[in-house]
A = this chain, B = another copy of it.
Amino acid sequence: MAGAFAVGRGTAHAGPDGAATAGDVRQAAYAFRGAHQAGIVTPAQDRLHFAAFDVLTDDREELVSLLQRWTLASEQMTAGEPAGDGAVGGDVRLPPDDTGEALDLPASGLTVTFGFGPSLFRDADGRDRFAIADRQPEALRDLPHFPGDVLDPARSGGDLCVQACADDPQVAVHAIRNLARIGFGTVAVRWSQLGFGRTSTTSTSQSTPRNLFGFKDGTANVKAEESAALDEHVWVGSGDDPRADWLAGGSYLVARRINMTIEVWDRQPLGDQEMFVGRTKGAGAPLSGGEEHTAPDFDMPGSNDQPVIPVDAHVRVVHPGQHGGVRMLRRGYNFVDGSDALGGLDAGLFFIAYVRDPATHFVPVQLAMSKSDALVEYLKFTGSALFAVPPGVGPGEHVGQALFT
C-alpha cells in the first residue's frame, strides 16, 4: 500500500500493510489518506475518544467546508503536528489554531475516522437539509429496538461521528477537542465516550486483551491480514447499493455502549463465568479444549446430556457458524465513567464493529444475543448508534467528498 504511511515527529517505519513498527509504539504515525479510512484495520491502538456530533446548520456549503477543514486538521494531527497554524507563534491577538495540550507529544499512532448517521440524510422532522436524502444507503437506518436495550437518547445517534484512536489518551482527546473547536457554530458534540483499553485485536501481530469480565475478547476477530474476509465482511462493495455508490470501499460502524454489572458478575463462581462465556478464563481456550485459537467444538458432549459448551454460552450464540458465516471487525474499548447511584462502577464495553451490512452482519447476531446469550443477564445496553463510514480520502479530496459531488 504505497503512500499509506507518513512519518510524523516519530521515527516509526511502515510494514507492508501500512502498520507502524517501532520500539516505542507512541512514535507510530499512520497516513490519513488512503484507499480506506485509517482506524479500521489499523492495529487497534490502546485508547479511544469517540464523539457524535449534531449538525447545527442547514447550509450544505457550510457542512462541506467543515469536512474540508476537518480533513486538513486530521491530516496534520495524525502526522504528529498541531492543527492549523499551531498553538503558538502566531498572532497573539488571535486565538491559537491548536489548543496546545499535545504540543510535546508524538503522533502516538493517532487515527481519525469519520462516519455519517441516518439523521444527516433526513433529520427528525424528515427534512433533507443537505440534498443528499436520495443517496442515503438502504442499510443506514436506525437500529431496531433490541430486547435488553435501555438506551439513553443522550448517548445515542448523531449526524456525524469521529472515532479518534491513539496510544496516548491525551492525543486522542486533543484530536476530538480540536475538531469540535474547528466545528464551533456548525456542529455541537451530542455525546462522547472515552475508552481506556482496547478489547480487540485487528492484526495478527497483536495479543488478545481482556474485557472487564476478565476474559480475553475478540479472539475470532477479522484481522487486517485477511484481505478476502475484509472484502467479504467489512468493506462495502461497489455493487452493494446503487443509491450509495459513494460508500463503496467504506463500511458501517455500529457503536453500542454496553454497561456490565460487574459487581454482580464478580460474585459468580469461576465455573459459571466460564460456562457463560464458553471459554476458560485463564487461557481463553474453548471449553471443548485446546488453546485460545482452537476452533470450538460445539457438538462435544458434556455431562447431563448437555454439550460441554452450553447452548447459551456467548461463544456459541454469536459464532459465525450460527449466522451464515458472517463476521465483524470489532474494535471496542473498555470504559469506566465513574460510579453509578448504587455505589457500583459505571463500567463496561464500548462496542464498535465495522461491517459490510448491518442488516446481515450485526442485527441478527444482536437479536440472538438478546434472546439466548447467558451473558446478557450481566449487560445493559445504554447507548447505540449506526454510521456509514465513507471510503478513504484520496489526494486533494476531503472526507466524504463523493457524497457531495
Contacts and interface: CB of A to CB of B under 8 A. Distances in A.
Nearest to A93: B269
A7 interface: no
Interface stretch (A132-140, A189-197, A307-315, A362-370): A189-197
Given A101-B210, A267-B95, A196 B180 contact: no
A89 interface: yes
B100 A281 contact: yes
Copies of this subunit: 2
A171 B269 CA distance: 23
A338 B262 contact: no
Nearest to A56: B343
Contacts of A345: 176-177, 180, 189, 192
A268 B211 CA distance: 41
Nearest to A275: B92
A95 B265 CA distance: 9
Given A100-B214, A104-B210, A343-B189, A170 B95 contact: no
A192 B336 contact: yes
Contacts of A347: 173, 177
A337 B193 CA distance: 8
B95 A266 contact: yes
A213 B177 CA distance: 11
A359 interface: no
* Category for how many chain A residues contact B: 35 or more
Contacts of A103: 210, 214, 282
B343 A90 contact: no
Contacts of A384: none
B87 A281 contact: yes
Given A266-B99, A270-B96, A343 B190 contact: yes
A92 B270 contact: yes
B54 A343 contact: yes
B169 A197 contact: yes
Interface of A: 47, 49, 51, 54, 87-96, 98-104, 168-170, 173, 176-177, 180-181, 184, 188-194, 196-197, 207, 209-215, 262-263, 266-271, 273-274, 280-282, 334, 336-339, 342-345, 347
Given A87-B282, A88-B270, A103-B210, 8 more contacts: A89-B282, A93-B269, A101-B213, A170-B197, A170-B210, A173-B334, A176-B345, A177-B345
